């Protein structure tokens, strides 16, 4: 049976029956079992998976077999893809598969002091992928090619239950606020001059709604993270206190799901309502390589209901 994406904050009653799932965390996230994504995926099955993403925000498949072409084809079923901002900012080239980790395009392991590996430590701060773009990413889809035996986990929290936990007066304060997201600001915490002039010029600060509403389910969440620099109409120091407080509320240990990678994992997360961060790992000792695609949002968050 195909369900429409009605605006309901609870999962469709038969979603759990249509798909064999295992919860990843009491608040969000499921592993979908018994689906081989290398086999042709009929429309109905794909629609169930997309509904699971809308409702559970983090969706895991284990033991999958993808190359870049099949990952791109699967990702495009969710919508138009976002090209990587780093390659574009460097020389204007368009790349739809990002490489996460310490392995270069020739398969060579990069040391921990390598510029690219140092740069990627910015992902160890809680963030939402590409919230600094005018049209931010809707989904990120990561496939594990090489994994570390320890370290390098990915941690997630959902700002949907975090929003629901807020006291009513704070919800009221947030209601119509607009935050400024700024890539150069967030990367300034990694080190000086890590963002080239051409990359900075290609990513000017952008406004985003502080409270977002899932267009399929009507569920609300707040939209923050390391790229959120300030709030329109607020003094910077007051904005910093509020933005940090919202991240702190969402990320206390009991609200986190920590994902330990296995080769063959395909992980999908909804950047509109989850924050994530990579855990440190020993890049001199271990190889780590995830290939990531991103599904673009449909508009700026300012244009959402």
Provide the binding-site residues for Fe ion, judged by CB under 5 A.
123, 129
Q: How far is the CB of 26 from Fe ion (least distance, A)?
A: 23
> Residue 296 is encoded by which pair of tokens?
């673009």
Least Cβ distance, residue 301 to Fe ion (angstroms): 18
| CA distances to 204, 215, 273 from 176, in Å | 22, 17, 17
- Beta-sheet strands, E only, within the chain: 20-23, 30-33, 58-61, 98-101, 137-146, 154-158, 178-181, 206-209, 211-213, 220-222, 228-231, 257-259, 266-270, 274-278, 289-296
Class of residue 240 by CB neighbours under 10 A (exposed 0-12, middle 13-18, buried 19+): middle
Q: How many helices (DSSP H) and strands (DSSP E) are in the chain?
A: 10, 15
- By beta-carbon proximity to Fe ion, the closer residue of 129 and 265 is 129
Minimum CB distance to Fe ion, residue 122 (Å): 9
Nearest residue to Fe ion by CB is 129
Nearer Cβ to Fe ion, position 123 or 215? 123
Six-digit token string for 247? 């991240």
Kindly state the smallest distance separating residue 160's Cβ from Fe ion, in Å. Answer: 18
Smallest gap, in angstroms, from Cβ of residue 137 to Fe ion? 9
Sign of CA dihedral 215, 75, 271, 56: positive
Residue 43 C-beta: closest distance to Fe ion, Å:
30
Taking the least distance from each CB to Fe ion, the nearer of 123 and 202 is 123
Q: Tokens 């933005």 sit at which residue?
A: 243
Query: Which of residues 64 and 271 has its CB atom nearest to Fe ion in the complex?
Result: 271
Closer Cβ to Fe ion, 8 or 123, answer by number = 123
C-alpha 141/C-alpha 154 separation (Å) is 13
């Amino acid at each position: 049976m195909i369900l429409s994406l009605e605006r309901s904050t609870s999962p469709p009653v038969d979603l759990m029956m249509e798909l064999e799932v295992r919860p990843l965390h009491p608040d969000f996230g499921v592993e979908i079992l018994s689906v081989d994504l290398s086999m042709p995926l009929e429309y109905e099955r794909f629609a169930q998976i997309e509904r699971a993403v809308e409702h559970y925000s983090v969706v895991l498949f284990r033991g999958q077999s993808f190359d870049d072409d099949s990952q791109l084809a699967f990702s495009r079923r969710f919508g138009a893809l976002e090209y990587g901002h780093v390659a574009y900012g460097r020389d204007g080239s368009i790349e739809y598969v990002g490489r996460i980790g310490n392995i270069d395009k020739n398969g060579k392991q990069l040391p921990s002091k390598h510029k690219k590996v140092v740069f990627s430590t910015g992902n160890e701060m809680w963030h939402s992928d590409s919230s600094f773009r005018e049209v931010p990413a809707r989904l990120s889809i990561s496939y594990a090619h090489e994994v570390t035996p320890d370290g390098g986990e990915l941690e997630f929290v959902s700002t949907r239950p975090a929003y629901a936990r807020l006291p009513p007066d704070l919800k009221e304060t947030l209601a119509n606020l607009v935050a400024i997201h700024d890539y150069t600001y967030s990367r300034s915490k990694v080190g000086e001059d890590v963002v080239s002039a051409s990359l900075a010029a290609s990513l000017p600060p952008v406004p985003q709604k502080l409270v977002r509403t899932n267009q399929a389910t009507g569920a609300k969440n707040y939209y923050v993270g390391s790229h959120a620099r300030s709030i329109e109409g607020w003094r910077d120091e007051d904005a910093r206190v509020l933005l940090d407080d919202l991240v702190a509320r969402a990320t206390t240990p009991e609200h986190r799901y920590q994902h330990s990678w296995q080769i063959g994992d395909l992980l999908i997360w909804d950047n509109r309502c989850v924050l994530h961060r990579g855990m440190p790992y020993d890049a001199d000792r271990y190889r780590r390589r995830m290939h990531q695609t991103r599904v673009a949002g449909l508009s700026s968050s300012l244009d959402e209901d």
